[in-house]
Every structure is written in structure tokens, then in C-alpha cells.
Amino acid sequence: MTPAQHNPEERPLGALLAPDIIALLEESPALIAAETEEMHPADLADVAEAMPEAQVPVFLAALPKERAAQVLEYLDEELRAEVLEAMTAQQAAALVTEMNPDERADVLEELDEDVAEEIVEEMPAETRKETQQLRKYDPDSAGGLMTTEFVSVDADTTVEEALRLVRRIARSDKREAMHAIYTTDEDGRLAGVLSLRELLAAPEGATLADVAWTEPQAVSPTADREEVARVISNYDIVVVPVVSESGHVMGVITVDDVIDAIQEEQTEDVQKFGGMQALDEPYMQIGFLSMIKKRGGWLSILLISEMLTTTVMQHFEKQIDLVKALPLFIPLVMSSGGNSGSQATSLITRAMALREVELSDWWRVARRELPSGLTLGVLLGILGMTRIALWQWMFDHKMWLGYDYNPHWQLIALVVGLSLVGIVTFGSLAGSMLPFLLRRVGFDPASASAPLVATLVDFTGLSIYFLVALLLLHGVLL
Amino acid sequence: MTPAQHNPEERPLGALLAPDIIALLEESPALIAAETEEMHPADLADVAEAMPEAQVPVFLAALPKERAAQVLEYLDEELRAEVLEAMTAQQAAALVTEMNPDERADVLEELDEDVAEEIVEEMPAETRKETQQLRKYDPDSAGGLMTTEFVSVDADTTVEEALRLVRRIARSDKREAMHAIYTTDEDGRLAGVLSLRELLAAPEGATLADVAWTEPQAVSPTADREEVARVISNYDIVVVPVVSESGHVMGVITVDDVIDAIQEEQTEDVQKFGGMQALDEPYMQIGFLSMIKKRGGWLSILLISEMLTTTVMQHFEKQIDLVKALPLFIPLVMSSGGNSGSQATSLITRAMALREVELSDWWRVARRELPSGLTLGVLLGILGMTRIALWQWMFDHKMWLGYDYNPHWQLIALVVGLSLVGIVTFGSLAGSMLPFLLRRVGFDPASASAPLVATLVDFTGLSIYFLVALLLLHGVLL
């Protein structure tokens, strides 16, 4: 049989069988366990999501407890919370106890505080202690991401002994993958690391100290998920240990949790850059009021800031009245400032997120953006002037679309052209410096959104435009 | 010794030693290999990046060939290309041959086509064939990401035999990790998968067919990197096989390559959303002209599109002249449309990238955005009207900042308020539908940038504003 190939337009194989499994669940639930034995828990979770919500606990009960716990791990967060809250605390505790410690802590995080407490109370003592400890950490920190199931062995152990130990653990019911084996010194502190593969390759008779890598990469429990992702991706490792200040391994973070963390982080960054608070929930699931709150706040702030443009316009009321052609180009010159600012901001926030650029690089960045902004401004300025000359020419030749800007249309064109140079230069500089400024005062540089930059640049852009007009048209038209 | 903890403000441990290693390289290069034996190749690459470029080949030559190849894998792309191009084709081929096949293909991709060809010619026949095959695929596709080093075993093999085989491979000089072992049927097609851990846990006497998982996840060689990332992250696996149409395993993609792919993809998306072409190079390294090209193209297109706003303004020239207060609010109402559009676009492009939303969901999305847009519009409309009422009140009471909009200032306020409702609703709808439209006509929905949406909405927003003014002020002021 050809293996399941993934095609974005197709649901995974498991979901195709959902109706059969749901039917089987009604007719003979006793067969469910055996019939679904070969399915991946992620696919079983898809099946659970396709059935009526009331059926999900029945379905989970029909599976062996460890399988049910695995399915829970892949289940949609909201459904999972509802299913667990619908169970008795004992039932829920029995299921949740079978989960990996890190997943268990995450799941409890999503429940009502009271319900979570009740469930924790029903856990076996050891599990309870472990869970309470993990719940102390921010879920987005290394401590919150780590699982406490890992293999660590005294560095003096021989390769044969370690292999026997690893086989015993592999055959036990603990499910955490063991891609890496950590060695510890006489005080139990992290001393080295070797992969399962390296253990298999190790010569007989050697001790782990002979074959393990010393100075293993590690993170502190308070490191944020971006930092964890960077270590894992820089060193191409699949698991990184979380080490206390005293040097003891507290847990490990595996690469799958890091991928999820990267994806979430990126979703937040994209939404912030779009000019809103991060939703923290899938778009299709978030409630109407939460959505309005997350979007309305920034929209209102931006509107209020943008009111400055009205003040600028009021200030130049007389000039607008004297030179009818002036207001015509306001949207044009203003938007170019916002666009160039948006480009610069997206470049710099991303370069900061990837640590290509640090706070201290602001001057180097400014020195790159100044000539770039000037060049782009000249380019746009020429385009803008050409537009005016063209329409005037069409007017002079009585063609459709032609427009009479003024007897001094060349001057108007020059005002637009020079303003564009100034505005695009300012936009590029302001857009690139805003993330530095935000970071300097302690905000997330990713809050520098395209609309925020546009709003900041609009006010200045408008002022530049009118000042250039005052300078060039003084004595002629003004 | 306490292991190296990662702190974003600190350079990794290896880099601290860079000056020592550079000094040692000058004095006694023969000691380099032994002195750096325990260092991670990623840290050695940092050291290489800290030395004068001419020294790098000397440094690499001082390391054992396999170590030098590993360091090359972590080296900055541009430096790597320069170092390899400075060597003879034979020297370069000797180094590159030691790399993983997927990395080797990637490295050659970065070189001058002629230089790459010369190096390929100097490789041993088998390596050459393998490399040429990999280079046929798009570097961003599964075929381009995969490595051809993996372990596959006939499903009839016993667990003991397989373990012996795996140990032999682990002890050989091939370096690709072997997190998963694939089983094949009598025709050599992919039949199952098991992890190294599962192999260790398997009962003695069983065959692999008894213990392997059937229906393993797989991707086709033409799948794009987003798809590969999705499979790996959905199923929490560290490696996914690339399978031909006939069902044979062609290679495997490991999770570290996927993380890099996700990061690159995200950088591209952020830059596109900012309104430019993706740079494809780190911000600090891209040349001036490339930067101008990648930014200037979109800026020019946007400016030319924005010229439509000038046309709209020309059309309403008479009204602007009659009601002096009208132009004052143009930047305000226009920018609100762009801001709400930017929000909606960032939400939808991200939801599409995560496959939360498919092309067929456009109607469901529109039905969510319509009430959201209306509500946000009413919120902003009230704010806008309050602003006008407040300034007018301050004028009537002869206060600073006050402004006389008109004897009919209530009507002007109503024009601004109602326009904001219309423009924000339109902005939200247009911003959310644009990614669908782009995808429908075969473009990347991520090309729906904040500036593009703003530009599209500016033209419509301006028209809405003037039409509302015409309707409300007809017979009174116009």
C-alpha cells in the first residue's frame, strides 16, 4: 500500500474514516480500541472533533487510558477544555495523569482555575507535586515548555549499563522521546550529553564520560520561547535541557514544542504588525466581543493620533484656499510616507526577532536607511512629477483625463516631487528607528505596526508637504 | 562546571575563546584539531566568522575533514561561498563531499553555477550522482530539503538483526541522525516506521513488521516547505520521509531543516506584508541596489495606484471649494480605512498560512467581517464626531485649539461619522477578501500587504467620504 501522501487540499487519512468510527462507537464501543490501534493520535483527535461534543467522553472512555491521553494532547484546545470540565474531577485526573508533564500543565492552564485545582487534587501524590511545580512557570517560558521526563545517567556508568537502562526505560510506560541522554557529575549536575545513536555507536567497555559531549547547550527556566527556539535551531538539536542555576537538569524541551511556540510567536507578530492586539485564538473561533476589543483599541488610538493631521490642515487653511491644486495631492504624498515606513519597520522588526540586528545597531541601520530612503524618494518624486506634467499636457492638448493644475503647474509639480523626497526619506528613517525606540523603552519592538508607522508619518508628511509649498510658492501663488 | 546558559545578551561560549583560537592558529596550527575537539561546530563557525577571511581556509585545513565540513554547514552563507570559491575545485570537492547530501546541494546552490559544476566534477562518482539528483529539485521543495541518508530495512528483518545493523551504521562515518527507521515491503516500498527508541523497546524474537507503525506520514518530493512543516508539526515527528509516486523512500527531511524553512518563510511573509519583495538575504548584508530594487518596485506601483485618489479629488474640486471644512478630514477618514483593512488582511493571511482558513471559507469570513467592521466603524465614527463637536465647542467658548467648522458643523460631523462607518466596514471587508482573491487567481495570499490594502481602500474611502458629503450637504452647503 502506498503511504498517505499529504496534499493540502485533502484531509488526512484518519479523517476519512471518521463516519465509520462514529458509527462503530454507537454500535459496539468495545471494538473501538482494537479498530483504531494503528491510527496516529493526531488523526484520532480529528475524528473526535468531527463527532457531537457529548460523544467525545464516550469515545475517550472506549480507548485505553494512555491512548485517550494522547488523543487529548492533539485535540482542539477549546473542545479539550469543555470535555474535561464536563467530566468528574476523578475521571479528568485519571486521563490527565497519563499525559506528558508539560502537556498536562498546559492543559490545566486552559481550564477554569477552580476546576484545574480540583483535578490536581485528585492526582497521585507524585504527579501532583510535579504538576504544581510546572504550573509555577509562565507557559511561554522554558520552565513552562519543559517536560520533566528525561533520561540522565551518572557519567561513570558504562556504555553497557546505560544501554540496559535505556532499554528498560524504553519498555516502560513513559512516553517522552529520549533523543538525548544526559550525564551528570558526582553532585548530580549536568556534565554532558550524547544521542541515543551515539550511545549505540559507543565502544564496549567505555564509560559515558568517555563518549559524551561536554559543555552541552542548555537554557535557564526563565528563558523565553524565542530564546529556546534560537538555541535549538542554531545548534540543530532536537532537545535542549533546562538547567537550574545550580547546574541541575530540571527538564527538557523537545523540538515539537518549539515549533508550536515559533508558530504562535509568529502569529502574534503578524497580527501586531497588522495593527491590533494578538488574538491568542484561531480567527474562526474567537468571539465577536473579544475580536472587537482586540481590534478596536488600536483603531481608536490610531484615529485619535491621526486627528493631528486635521490640526495641521487647519493650520494651512489659507494656503489650501489660495492654491486649489494643493489638497489634490495630499493622499498621494501622505500614503508614500506610510508605505516606505511600513517597509522599513517590517525589515527591522524581523531582523530584530532573528537577532540579526541588536539595539546597539541603530546607528548602522540609520546609516543604511538614509541613502535608501533618499534614493526611493527621488524615484517616487520623479514619478509624481511625471504624473502632473502628463495630466497638464493632456489638458493643454484637450485630451480626456487632462487637468489644469495652475498656470504655475511646474511649481506645483516641484512641490509634490520635493515633498515626496522628504517624506519617503523621513518615512524610511522613522519606520526603521521606531522598533529601536520601542525596544529601548521596554516595549516589544513587534508592536511597531504598519498602521502605527503610517499614522506617525502622516502627520509629519503633511507638515513637510505644506512647508515645501510655502517655501516654493511664496511670492508666486501664496 | 556549570553548562553554558543562553542569555540573549551574551555571545555563546565558543565565541569567547575566538581570540585564543585565532592566536593558536598562527602559532601552532597542528594543535587546533585537538584543542577544539569538544566544541560544537556551530561555535567553531562563529570563531571562523571572527577571523580575517583569508585565514578561514587555513583554519578549515587544520581541522579533520569531517569537522571542517560540519563547520562549513554552520558558516554564514556569503562567507561560505567566498571561502569555497577561493579554494581549488579539488579542495572544495573534498570538503563538500563530507557534508550531508542535503546541505551539500544547498551549498552548491549558493555558488556561481560554473564553480559549482567544477566542484561536482571533482566528487567521487557516487557522491556526484546523488548531488546531481538533489540539485534537480527546487531548494524550497521537499525534494530540495531532503537528505538521502536514512536507514530503511526489510520489514521481515528481526529486531536483533535490525539492532545490529543500526549499530553498524551508527559506528560508520555517516553523520545523518537516525531518529526513525523505515521498513519496506518485498518491492522496496515504504511499509512502516519505528523510532530508534521503539526498536530498543521491541521484544526479542519479533520482526520489524510486528512492531513498526503502518501508514507512516510522508510527503511527495514536490511538496513545498510549508507543507512539510505542517506535517512535522501536526504529528510531532522529528523526521518525515519523502516518498516517490511509486511508494519508494527517496530521502528524509529532519526537523532542524524544517525550523530553518519556517523561519525563512516567516521572514518572507513579514517583508511582503510590509509592502516589498522578500529580501532573501539578511538586512545587514544585502547590497544597496538590491535593496532599492526590492523596495522601489512596490513603492512605485503603490504610488501609481494612489494617483487614483488625486483623480477622485479633482472630481470633487467644486465641493472642496464650497465647503472649506471638507478637506480637513480627508487624512483622518482615509487612514482609518487603511488601518482596519491592514488588521483584516494580517488576520486572514496568517489564518491561511496556518490552514485555519481555506479558499472555500471566504463567505464565512465575510459574514464575520461585516458585523465586526460595522461595529468598529460606529466606534470610530462616534470618536470622530466627538472630536468635531469638542473643537467647535472650544471655539464657541473662545478657547485655545478651538476651530469654527461651519455654521452647520453638526452636518459636517455627521458626514465624518457616517463616512467612518462606511469606510471602516469597507476596509475590513476588502482587507479580508483580498487574500482570498489573490489566492483564487493563483498569487501568494501573503502578497496582500498592509500598504496594498491601504492603497486600495484609500481610493474607495475618499469616494465614500465625498458621496456622503454630497448626500447630506445637498441643498444646505452644496
Tell whether the model's pLDDT for residue B11 goes beyond 60. Answer: no
Contact A331 B458 (CB under 8 A): yes
The residue among A197, A323, A392, A455 with the most chain B CBs within 10 A of its CB, best to mutate, is A197
Contact B200 A170 (CB under 8 A): yes
Please report, rounded to a whole number, the percentage of residues in chain A having pLDDT higher than 70. Answer: 95
Contact B197 A196 (CB under 8 A): yes
Q: Which of B214, B449, B454 comes nearest A454 by C-beta? A: B454
- The secondary element (H helix, E strand) that includes residue A282 is none
Contact A454 B335 (CB under 8 A): yes
Distance of residue A189 Cα from the nearest chain B Cα, in angstroms: 8
Rounded average pLDDT over A173-185? 79
Model pLDDT, residue A176? 61
Residues in chain B closer than 8 A to A450 (CB atoms): 273-275, 342, 450-451, 454
Reported ipTM: 0.75
Q: A181 - beta bridge partners?
A: A151, A194
pLDDT digits (tens, 9 = 90+) for A370-393: 999 999 999 999 999 999 999 999
At position A283, the amino acid (one-letter code) is Y
**Quick one: A421 exposed, middle or buried, by C-beta within 10 A (0-12, 13-18, 19+)?**
buried
The residue among A169, A194, A339 with the most chain B CBs within 10 A of its CB, best to mutate, is A339
Q: Are strands A239-243 and A213-214 parallel, antiparallel or unpaired?
A: unpaired
Our CA dihedral for A306, A308, A311, A315, rounded to 10 degrees, sits at -120
* Nearest one of A139, A64, A125, A57 to A91, comparing CA atoms: A57
The residue among A46, A250, A272, A350 with the most chain B CBs within 10 A of its CB, best to mutate, is A350
Tell whether the model's pLDDT for residue A129 goes beyond 80. Answer: yes
Compute the distance between CA of residue A469 and CA of residue A412 in angstroms, rounded to an integer. 8
Rounded average pLDDT over B144-163? 89
Model pLDDT, residue B417? 96
Contact A303 B214 (CB under 8 A): no
**Quick one: B32 exposed, middle or buried, by C-beta within 10 A (0-12, 13-18, 19+)?**
buried
Contact B347 A279 (CB under 8 A): yes
Burial track A339-368 (b if 16+ CB lie within 10 A, e otherwise): bbbbbbbbbbbbbbbbebbeeebbeebeeb
Distance of residue A18 Cα from the nearest chain B Cα, in angstroms: 16
Tell me, rounded to whole angstroms, the distance of Cα A260 from its chain centroid: 9
Tell me, rounded to whole angstroms, the distance of Cα B473 from its chain centroid: 50
Q: Which of A223, A256, A330 comes nearest B6 by C-beta? A: A223
Rounded average pLDDT over B416-429? 96
Distance of residue B337 Cα from the nearest chain A Cα, in angstroms: 10
Residues in chain A closer than 8 A to B7 (CB atoms): 220, 223
Burial track B174-191 (b if 16+ CB lie within 10 A, e otherwise): eebbbbbbbbbeeeebbb
Model pLDDT, residue B428? 96
Distance of residue A45 Cα from the nearest chain B Cα, in angstroms: 11
Model pLDDT, residue B7? 40
Model pLDDT, residue A123? 92
Contact B236 A256 (CB under 8 A): yes
pLDDT digits (tens, 9 = 90+) for B39-74: 888 888 888 988 888 889 889 989 998 889 889 888
Model pLDDT, residue B370? 95
pLDDT digits (tens, 9 = 90+) for B125-150: 988 888 888 888 888 889 988 888 88
Model pLDDT, residue A241? 94
Compute the distance between CA of residue A16 and CA of residue A22 in angstroms, rounded to an integer. 11
Compute the distance between CA of residue A275 and CA of residue A269 in angstroms, rounded to an integer. 10
Model pLDDT, residue A447? 83
Please say whether the beta carbons of A473 and A415 come within 8 A: yes
Compute the distance between CA of residue B2 and CA of residue A218 in angstroms, rounded to an integer. 10
* A-B contacts at Cβ under 8 angstroms: 436
Please report, rounded to a whole number, the percentage of residues in chain A having pLDDT higher than 90. Answer: 39
Q: Which of B3, B292, B344 comes nearest A218 by C-beta? A: B3
Residues in chain B closer than 8 A to A4 (CB atoms): 215-218
Distance of residue B235 Cα from the nearest chain A Cα, in angstroms: 6
Residue of A nearest to B173 (CA): A201
Tell me, rounded to whole angstroms, the distance of Cα B118 from its chain centroid: 32
Rounded average pLDDT over B305-327? 88
Rounded average pLDDT over B387-392? 92
Residues in chain A closer than 8 A to B38 (CB atoms): 213-215
Contact B4 A218 (CB under 8 A): yes
Contact B361 A284 (CB under 8 A): yes
The CA-CA-CA angle for residues B261, B265, B267, to 5°, reads: 120
pLDDT digits (tens, 9 = 90+) for A82-120: 899 888 999 999 999 988 888 888 888 888 888 999 999
Tell whether the model's pLDDT for residue A10 goes beyond 80. Answer: no
Distance of residue B67 Cα from the nearest chain A Cα, in angstroms: 15
Compute the distance between CA of residue B335 and CA of residue A312 in angstroms, rounded to an integer. 15
Confidence bin at B173 (pLDDT 50/70/90): low
Q: A153 - beta bridge partners?
A: A183
Contact B450 A451 (CB under 8 A): yes
Compute the distance between CA of residue B82 and CA of residue B111 in angstroms, rounded to an integer. 8
Kindly list the distances between the CA atom of residue B380 and the CA atoms of A287, B106, B181, B402, B458, in Å, as whole numbers in the listed order. 20, 51, 59, 21, 17
The residue among B1, B195, B335 with the most chain A CBs within 10 A of its CB, best to mutate, is B335
Count of CB atoms within 10 A of residue A314's CB?
A: 17
Model pLDDT, residue B174? 64
Rounded average pLDDT over B352-374? 92
Rounded average pLDDT over B389-416? 88
Confidence bin at B177 (pLDDT 50/70/90): low
Contact A236 B42 (CB under 8 A): yes
Model pLDDT, residue A173? 62
Rounded average pLDDT over A176-193? 87
Tell whether the model's pLDDT for residue A453 goes beyond 50. Answer: yes
Compute the distance between CA of residue B11 and CA of residue B308 in angstroms, rounded to an integer. 51
pLDDT digits (tens, 9 = 90+) for B189-220: 999 999 888 898 898 889 999 999 888 899 99
Please say whether the beta carbons of A76 and A102 come within 8 A: no
Residues in chain B closer than 8 A to A321 (CB atoms): 324
The pTM of this model reads 0.75
Q: Which of B201, B267, B327 comes nearest A167 by C-beta? A: B201
Listing from the earlier edge strand, what are the strands of the sheet with B190-195? Answer: B151-154, B180-184, B190-195, B213-214
Residues in chain A closer than 8 A to B282 (CB atoms): 351, 354, 356
Q: Which of A170, A233, A303 comes nearest B256 by C-beta? A: A233
Rounded average pLDDT over B115-122? 91
**Greatest CA span in chain A, whole angstroms?**
97
Decide: helix, strand or coil at residue B403.
coil
In degrees and rounded to multiples of 5, residue A316 shows phi and psi of -105, 20
- What one-character DSSP code corresponds to residue B3? P
Would residue B242 be called left, alpha or beta, if left means φ above 0 and alpha means ψ between -120 and 50 degrees?
A: beta
Q: Which of B13, B274, B332 comes nearest A342 by C-beta? A: B274
Rounded average pLDDT over A210-234? 88
Compute the distance between CA of residue B53 and CA of residue B57 in angstroms, rounded to an integer. 8
Kindly list the distances between the CA atom of residue A393 and the CA atoms of A327, A389, A418, B245, B416, in Å, as whole numbers in the listed order. 20, 6, 21, 62, 35
Q: Average per-residue pLDDT in chain A?
A: 87
Residue with cell 467620504: B465
Contact A235 B40 (CB under 8 A): yes
* Nearest one of B330, B258, B478, B48 to A229, comparing CA atoms: B258
Residue of A nearest to B259 (CA): A233
Contact B5 A166 (CB under 8 A): no
pLDDT digits (tens, 9 = 90+) for B226-279: 889 888 888 878 899 999 988 999 999 988 888 888 888 888 989 999 888 888
Q: Which of B38, B238, B332 comes nearest A310 by C-beta? A: B332
Confidence bin at B5 (pLDDT 50/70/90): very low
Count, in order, helices (H) and strands (E) of chain B: 23, 6
Contact B372 A454 (CB under 8 A): no
Contact B276 A343 (CB under 8 A): yes
Decide: helix, strand or coil at residue A183.
strand
Residues in chain B closer than 8 A to A324 (CB atoms): 317, 320-321
Q: A147 - beta bridge partners?
A: A252
Looking at A4-13, A331-340, B52-61, B426-435, which range is the least confident one?
A4-13
Contact A351 B449 (CB under 8 A): no
C-alpha dihedral sign at B23, B25, B31, B36: positive
Would residue A306 be called left, alpha or beta, if left means φ above 0 and alpha means ψ between -120 and 50 degrees?
A: alpha
At position A264, the amino acid (one-letter code) is E
